[in-house]
Amino acid sequence: MSENELLYVTKENAEWWRSAVIYQIYPRSFADGNGDGMGDLKGVTDRLESLAELGIDAIWFSPFFKSPQKDAGYDVSDYKDIDPLFGTLHDFDTMLAKATKLGIRIIVDLVPNHSSDQHALFQAALKAPKGSPEREMYMFRDGKGLFGNKEPNNWKSVFGGNAWSRITEPNGKKGQWYLHIFDASQPDFNWDNPKVVEYFDGVLRFWLDRGVAGFRIDVAHGMKKRKGLPDTKKASTEMGGAKAEDQMTIEELEEQNPFWGQPEVHEINKRWRKILDEYDDRVMCGEAWIMPLNRMASWVGPGEYHQTFNFGYMFADWKKEAQRKSINESLEAFGKVGAPSTWVFSNHDVIRHVSRFGMVNGVPQGDGIGPNSEQPDEAVGLRKGRAATAFMLGLPGGAYLYQGEELGLPEHTTLEGKYREDPTWFRTNGERVGRDGCRVPLPWESGSNESNGFSTKTGNGWLPQPGSYKRYARDLQVGQPGSTLELYKSLLKIRKAHDLGAGNFAWAPEFENENSLAYVNKGVLVLANFDGHPITLPAGEILVTTQHDLRVEGELEHDQTVWIKLS
Ligand code: GLC
C-alpha cells in the first residue's frame, strides 16, 4: 500500500462523498506551470494552496491522459499515462501527494464509452480483418445497400452529423463502418465483449492503486447499445435523449435512444462498485444523462454509483417555483434509493451559470453562445448566479463546483471562430458554436500579462480570455469583502462548520412571501429573494449573504440569498 493510500483510509469518514464539495479542474485551463500556454499538472500543484483556502474537499480532474486532444482529452489513446501536454505520471504523483497533505482528495475522469482512434486497440482493429477479435473490441458493422456504402443505421452523433464512419480495409478497399456516438475520432467500445470489460477493470485498478479517491465516469449512460442496433423514428443528438421542452413519454424516450440508459449498463455499474468497495472509501460519480430524475436514481444506490450529477437541478431556472420543484424532485428521487442528491450548476460542457442566468431566453446544452447570438446581461447574471450558488450550497448532499465559478467568471460569449476547438463547431459548420466559451483559461493576477497570470507565455493561453477577465482575476478578489471569491470561501466554511452537507432539510414557508423561498438545514435558515420588493429579515445571526452590505440595510433585495442562524 502506498503512502497516499494509507492517508485515504479514514474509516470514520468512509462516506465523505455524501456531503463533499468537489471542485472540477479542467486541466487545460486551470494554470500553466511550464509556460507553453496550456494548463498542466505542475500548474495545479503550484496553485493547490488556493483551493485549500477555498475550502473544497476534493478535486475532479477532466482527462489528462494521453490523447490527440480531438475532444480536449475525452479521446484517450492511453488510459494509464499522462499526456505530455500536462506532464508525467511523476507530476501526477507529486500533485497527489501535495493535495493529500492539504486534505484534498483527487478524483479522475474515466472515459469508457469510447477511446481515441489513435488508441492501440483501435489501430489494431483497423489492421485486422473483418470478424477478427481485434474488431470485436469496437462496434464495427457492414454498411447497408448493395455496396455497403450506406450507414448501418440512422443514429446521429451528439456533436452533429451521423454516428458512423467508414474505414479503408487493409487491402485498400472501402470496408466496414464503426460507430462513434461522438466525434469520428472517438470510436465506441463494444461493451458486450468481456475483453473490453476486463480491460477497464485494469484501468480502474491502476488509478485506485495509485491513490485516487475515485472516478467521474464519462457518458455513464452510454456503453451498452440495444441489441440489433435498431433505427429510431427520429434520431436524437441530445445527451439526455431529448430536450426538456420536447415533453416525451418514457416509451418515446426509450424508442428514440437505443444507445442511452440501456438496462444492461447496470451490470457494469455493479462490477465497478465491487472493485471500488475493495478500497474502503472511494467514490464513483456518473455522468448519466438519464431523465427524469427518478430514472437517474436507479443508477445510484447500494451496489451501483455513489452519485450521479443532478442535471435536472443544473437546468432549473433561477425562479422560485422552478427551484422548489427541482429540489423536491431531487430529494425524493435520490432519497428513495438512500443516496444523497448532488447539486451542480456549471461544468465544462455547459454555459457558465452566471451567463445562463443573464440570458432572457435559455440556451440548450452544447450549443454555446457566440458573437452572433443574443448576449447575456453580465451584471444581472452575476447577481443571480451568486444568489443561486448560495441557495445551492446550503442543501444537504454533495456539491460540484466548476473552476472559475468562485471568481464569478462569465462565459466567453464572443470568442471568434478561428480559436474554436470543440468538435461540435466543426461537425455543424459553426451552426452550434460549442463549448469553448466555458473552457477559457483562468485569470490569476490581473494585468500581469495578456493571460492575467494563467501562463508566463507572452500572448494568449490556448484560448484567449475575454477583456472582462481582467476585472475578475483572483488577486483582485482575495480579502475583498463582497467579492465572489470571499463569498464562496464563507459559504464553504459555514457549510462545513454547521455540517450542512449532512444536514436535515425542511422547507420553511413561515419565512417566505410570494417572491422568496426558504428552507432550514440544521438550524440555519437559507432564504432567497427572487424578484420584486426587498424583504425584511427574520431575527437571528446573519452567517453569510450575497448582499454584503445587508447588515446596514436589514433587508434582502431581489436576487440575493442569506443564511441566518435562527435564534
Ligand atoms: C462527456 C464529456 C464531454 C465529452 C463527451 C464525450 O459528455 O463531459 O466533454 O465531449 O463526454 O467524451
Burial readout 4-35 (b: 16 or more C-beta within 10 A, e: otherwise): bbeebeeeeeeebbbbbbbbbbbbbbbbbbbe
Q: For residue 488, give the nearest of 382, 331, 376 by alpha carbon.
A: 382
Confidence of residue 63 (pLDDT cuts 50, 70, 90): very high
Question: Ligand 1 atom 7: the closest Cα is on which residue?
Answer: 219
Q: Which amino acid does the sequence have at 231?
A: D
Give yes or no for a contact between 306 and 339, defined as CB atoms under 8 angstroms apart: yes
Confidence of residue 364 (pLDDT cuts 50, 70, 90): low
- CB neighbour list of residue 271: distance below 8 Å, 6 or more residues apart: 197, 201
Q: Which amino acid does the sequence have at 404?
A: G
CB 260 near ligand 1, within 6 Å: no
CA of 113 to the centre of ligand 1 (A): 10
Read off the pLDDT of residues 313-339 as tens digits, 9 standing for 90 and up: 999 999 999 999 999 999 999 999 999
Give yes or no for a contact between 42 and 33, defined as CB atoms under 8 angstroms apart: yes
Asked about 278 being catalytic, the answer comes back as yes
CB 183 near ligand 1, within 6 Å: no
For ligand 1, pick from 74, 217, 285, 426 the residue to mutate: most ligand atoms within 8 Å of CB: 74
CA of 74 to the centre of ligand 1 (A): 6
CA of 218 to the centre of ligand 1 (A): 6
Of residues 401 and 3, which shows the higher confidence score?
A: 401
CA of 219 to the centre of ligand 1 (A): 7
Q: For residue 29, give the nearest of 538, 560, 485, 409 by alpha carbon.
A: 409
Burial readout 341-369 (b: 16 or more C-beta within 10 A, e: otherwise): bbbbbbbbbbbbbbbbbbbeeebebbbbb
Overall average pLDDT of the 474-481 stretch: 97
CB 436 near ligand 1, within 6 Å: no
Of residues 293 and 27, which shows the higher confidence score?
A: 27
Q: Which pLDDT score, from 0 to 100, does residue 12 have?
A: 52
- CA atoms of 207 and 203, how far apart (whole Å): 7
CB 26 near ligand 1, within 6 Å: no
Q: Hey, what's the cell of 177?
A: 463502418
- CA atoms of 413 and 420, how far apart (whole Å): 12
**Which stretches within 231-372 are classed as H helix?**
250-256, 265-277, 293-296, 311-314, 320-336, 353-356
Atom of ligand 1 at shortest distance to CA of 111? Answer: 12
Atom of ligand 1 at shortest distance to CA of 182? Answer: 6
522 phi-psi bin (left φ>0, alpha ψ -120 to 50, beta other): left
The one catalytic residue among 12, 198, 245, 278: 278
Q: Is the pLDDT of residue 162 over 50?
A: yes
For ligand 1, pick from 219, 290, 308, 365 the residue to mutate: most ligand atoms within 8 Å of CB: 219
CA of 520 to the centre of ligand 1 (A): 36
Atom of ligand 1 at shortest distance to CA of 347? Answer: 8
Q: Is the pLDDT of residue 1 over 90?
A: no
- CA atoms of 98 and 86, how far apart (whole Å): 17
* Three-state secondary structure readout of 22-86: EEEECCCCCCCCCCCCCCCHHHHHHHHHHHHHHCCCEEEECCCEECCCCCCCCCCCEEEEECCCC
Overall average pLDDT of the 478-501 stretch: 97
Q: For residue 354, give the nearest of 567, 558, 559 by alpha carbon.
A: 559
Atom of ligand 1 at shortest distance to CA of 114? Answer: 12
Confidence of residue 14 (pLDDT cuts 50, 70, 90): confident
Q: What are phi and psi of 30, to 5 degrees?
A: -80, -65
- CA atoms of 135 and 132, how far apart (whole Å): 5
Overall pTM surpassing 0.75 (yes/no): yes
- CA atoms of 353 and 313, how far apart (whole Å): 12
Q: Which pLDDT score, from 0 to 100, does residue 550 have?
A: 67
CB 349 near ligand 1, within 6 Å: yes
Give yes or no for a contact between 318 and 357, defined as CB atoms under 8 angstroms apart: yes
Read off the pLDDT of residues 479-488 as tens digits, 9 standing for 90 and up: 999 999 999 9
Residues in the chain: 567
CB 74 near ligand 1, within 6 Å: yes
Q: Hey, what's the cell of 136?
A: 470485436
CA of 518 to the centre of ligand 1 (A): 35
C-alpha distance from residue 375 to each of 35, 358, 361, 419 (Å): 33, 8, 10, 19
Q: Is the pLDDT of residue 425 over 60?
A: yes
Q: Which pLDDT score, from 0 to 100, does residue 366 have?
A: 66
Q: How far is CA 246 from the centre of its chain?
A: 24
Q: Hey, what's the cell of 371?
A: 458573437
Peptide bond into 364 cis (omega under 30): no
Question: Ligand 1 atom 2: the closest Cα is on which residue?
Answer: 218
Q: Which pLDDT score, from 0 to 100, does residue 535 have?
A: 92
Q: Is the pLDDT of residue 196 over 70?
A: yes
Question: Ligand 1 atom 12: the closest Cα is on which residue?
Answer: 74
CA of 185 to the centre of ligand 1 (A): 13
- CA atoms of 556 and 17, how far apart (whole Å): 33
Confidence of residue 426 (pLDDT cuts 50, 70, 90): very high
Across the strands, what pairs with 526? 519, 563
Q: Considering just the CA atoms, what is the radius of gyration of the chain in Å?
A: 23
Q: For residue 401, give the nearest of 45, 13, 51, 132 by alpha carbon.
A: 51
Asked about 405 being catalytic, the answer comes back as no
Question: Ligand 1 atom 9: the closest Cα is on which residue?
Answer: 349
Question: Ligand 1 atom 6: the closest Cα is on which residue?
Answer: 74
Question: Ligand 1 atom 5: the closest Cα is on which residue?
Answer: 74
CA of 306 to the centre of ligand 1 (A): 20
Give yes or no for a contact between 163 and 91, defined as CB atoms under 8 angstroms apart: no
Q: Which pLDDT score, from 0 to 100, does residue 434 have?
A: 94
Of residues 311 and 244, which shows the higher confidence score?
A: 311
